[in-house]
Structure 1
C-alpha cells in the first residue's frame, strides 16, 4: 500500500508533468486503501436494464467481485456470471452527490480491459439535468474503447443538437498501441469556452462553445464522473462478444479533479 508521502509526491510529479500550474487539486481518489471503493466518494448505478444501449451486463452494488481496491489500484471487473436476466456482471461507479463539478480538469490514469465485447468508459453526466433528459442536458465521454477496435480510444460529447442517435455527435478517435498493457492518463479540460481532450498530456481534439444556446452547449451546469465496463451493446457488441475474455478488468491508478487557480 502506498504511503501518504508517496501519494503526495506522485501528485506533485503529475501536476508538473501535465503542466497543471493553472490548476489546483480539489478532489481525488488515490486508491491507497483496500476493499470496497471509498463510499464517501463513490456510489453505484445498479441493474440490468440495458442502460439505453442494449447492454448485456447487470451492474452490481458494493460487490468486490466487480469493484475492489487492492494493491493501490481500483479494479472494475466484468465477469461471465448470471444475475437477474443477464449473463454478465460488472460495476458502474459514480461520484454523483459526492463529486460534482462545473468546469475544471478531470483526469484518470487507467489500463483498459481487453477483449471483443468489452466497452469500458470514463465519462460524465449532468447532475441536475437542467435542460431535460438525455441528450439535452449533455454528456462528456472522456474515454471510450470497444474491444473490437483494440488500438483506438475515443473522446466525444453529446447534446440535443449533436448526438449519435441523429448521427451528429462530435467525436474523435486516437490511435493508441497499448491501452490494454500500459497505463495512460485520460483527461478533459473544461471551461465556459471549450472542452479539450487529452491522452498523456497531449491534446487530440476539442469542442468549442458555439454560443447558440443549450441545444449545442449544455455544459454550463454541474457534471459528475462515471467509471464502468459495459458488455456488448449497440456499439460494444457490434462484432459480438468473446466469452473467453472474461473476467476482464479496467485498472485505475488514480482519479484527480482540478479547478482553475486563476
Structure 2
C-alpha cells in the first residue's frame, strides 16, 4: 500500500503560557513579607558573625608570639654517628628497673634502610654466656672491662647466684643518647618512629637532664615523650595501641609526682607497631607539651605560669620533711629549666611504678628479690610473642632537635 497518498496530519504548536497581565495575589500576602524579612535578618547576622569570627581569628593569630628556633640535629640514620650518639652500657635497668643489659653491639643497635634499629636479643644467643651461667656462678663486670657508662658500681657488675636469685641480665638491648653532643634548654624535638611488638617490651623516647642540678632522679626531672608497651592491645594497663607522655619530678623516688603529669593517646583499629608516627615535644619557660603526628594533636600539656611544681605536688601540705630542691631557682618551671638531652631506648620488663602492674599472667612480681629470675624462667611464654625480624625492634626513621632562639 502506498502511504504517501495519505499525508500525515500536521498540527501547529499551541502555547499555554499566560500572556499579558495576570493576577499574583501571593505577592501581597503579609506572611510572605515576614518570611523574606526574617531570612534577610538571618543572612545578615550570619554574614556579620562570619566577618567577626574571621577578624578575631586573624587578630589572635597576629598576636601570637612567634618563637625563633634553631635546628641543631637532623639525623635519618644512614649510619650511627658516634660523634652524636653515645651507646650506654649498664646493667641496672635505669629508673624503671628493667631486666636488660644495654650494649654497644651492632646486634642491638644498627642502621638499616628503615633507620635506626634498636633490637632486643637473648643474652645466651648473642654471647658466650650459657643458660646455666645466667643462673649461677658467672660474674659480669663492666667496670673491669672499662666500658661501663655509669659511675655507680651497682650499675656495672653482677654475679649470678642460684641461692640468692641474682642472675645475669637475660636480655641485651641498647640505649643511645645525645648527652655529650646535643642538648637543649627550651626548644622542640620530633622523632619519627615505629614501636616494637612483643610482651614486656618497653620502648621509650626521653629527655634527661645533662646535669643533676637539683639532685638524683627525679629531683632533677625527666620527660617521657613516649613510653609504650609491646603487649597486645587487650593488655589491661594498655598495650601497643597506646602510649603515654610523662613528666617525672619529685623530692625523692618515693615522692615522684609523675601521676599528676601523665597523659596517654590511644588509637583504634590499629596500633603503634603498624607504621611510623611522629612524636614531638615543645618546651618553653612558660609551658611544655607533647604531641602526636602534628602540634595540633596535643597529648600532655603542662603550664608553669600559675604555680610551681613544688606547689602542684603539694609537698608542704603532706608533711614532707624534705626541703624544696628547686628553691634555689627563681623559675616556676624548675627542674625543667636546665639543659636536657635525648635518649632512645628499648627496655625489657620493669619493676618500678607499676609500668607492668602485677597480675596473674605476669611472670614476675615487682617487689620480689627474684624478679629477674622469675621473668627469665618464663622465657618460653613471652619470647614467642616477640615479632619476627625488625618487628620486635624500636625503629627510628628520623630525629630532629631545635634550640629555642636564633641560630648563631
* TM-score, length-scaled by structure 1: 0.83
What residue in structure 2 maps to residue 220 of structure 1?
337
On the 8 A contact 1:158/1:164 being kept in 2, the answer is no
- Residues 39-93 of structure 1 deviation map (CA, whole Å, 9 limit, x = unaligned): 01100221222324331111002x1100001115000011122364111000010
Task: Pick one of 257, 263, 278 that aligns with 1:168.
Answer: 257
State the structure with more CA Rg: 2
- Alpha-carbon distance between aligned partners in 2 of 1:189 and 1:115, rounded to the nearest angstrom: 30
On the 8 A contact 2:186/2:285 being kept in 1, the answer is yes
Please give the secondary structure, in 2, of the residue aligned with 1:155.
Answer: strand
Question: What is the correspondence of 1:95-244 to structure 2 with a 5 Å cutoff?
Answer: 95-148=178-231, 149-160=239-250, 165-166=254-255, 168-169=257-258, 170-176=261-267, 177-201=270-294, 202-209=297-304, 210-211=307-308, 214=326, 217-234=334-351, 235-238=354-357, 239-240=362-363, 242-244=382-384
- Alpha-carbon distance between aligned partners in 1 of 2:226 and 2:75, rounded to the nearest angstrom: 18
On the 8 A contact 1:30/1:72 being kept in 2, the answer is no
* TM-score, length-scaled by structure 2: 0.54
1:155 Cα shift? 0.3
State the structure with bigger RCO (CA 8 A, min sep 6), 1 or 2: 1
- Residues 80-128 of structure 1 deviation map (CA, whole Å, 9 limit, x = unaligned): 2236411100001010011111010011000000111100000011001
- Residues 144-193 of structure 1 deviation map (CA, whole Å, 9 limit, x = unaligned): 002231211000001125x8743631101110332001100011100101
Aligned residues: 238
More strand by share: 1
- Alpha-carbon distance between aligned partners in 2 of 1:129 and 1:146, rounded to the nearest angstrom: 28
- Alpha-carbon distance between aligned partners in 2 of 1:251 and 1:212, rounded to the nearest angstrom: 34
Please give the secondary structure, in 2, of the residue aligned with 1:243.
Answer: helix
- Alpha-carbon distance between aligned partners in 1 of 2:188 and 2:346, rounded to the nearest angstrom: 22
What residue in structure 2 maps to residue 11 of structure 1?
none
What residue in structure 2 maps to residue 43 of structure 1?
86
- Alpha-carbon distance between aligned partners in 1 of 2:277 and 2:114, rounded to the nearest angstrom: 16
Task: Pick one of 385, 389, 405 that aligns with 1:245.
Answer: 385
- Alpha-carbon distance between aligned partners in 1 of 2:272 and 2:230, rounded to the nearest angstrom: 11
What residue in structure 1 maps to residue 111 of structure 2?
69
1:23 Cα shift? 3.3
More helix by share: 2
On the 8 A contact 1:230/1:236 being kept in 2, the answer is no
On the 8 A contact 2:242/2:271 being kept in 1, the answer is no
On the 8 A contact 2:114/2:395 being kept in 1, the answer is no
- Alpha-carbon distance between aligned partners in 1 of 2:173 and 2:290, rounded to the nearest angstrom: 26
On the 8 A contact 1:147/1:236 being kept in 2, the answer is no
- Residues 120-139 of structure 1 deviation map (CA, whole Å, 9 limit, x = unaligned): 00001100111111111010
- Alpha-carbon distance between aligned partners in 1 of 2:399 and 2:69, rounded to the nearest angstrom: 15
- Alpha-carbon distance between aligned partners in 1 of 2:337 and 2:405, rounded to the nearest angstrom: 18
Q: CA RMSD in A?
A: 2.3
Gaps of 5+ in 2: 1-65, 130-139, 141-167, 232-238, 311-325, 328-332, 364-374, 376-381
- Residues 203-227 of structure 1 deviation map (CA, whole Å, 9 limit, x = unaligned): 1221122336637630110001100
The structure 1 segments of at least 4 consecutive aligned residues displaced by more than 6 Å after TM superposition are none
- Alpha-carbon distance between aligned partners in 2 of 1:52 and 1:199, rounded to the nearest angstrom: 24
On the 8 A contact 2:184/2:402 being kept in 1, the answer is no
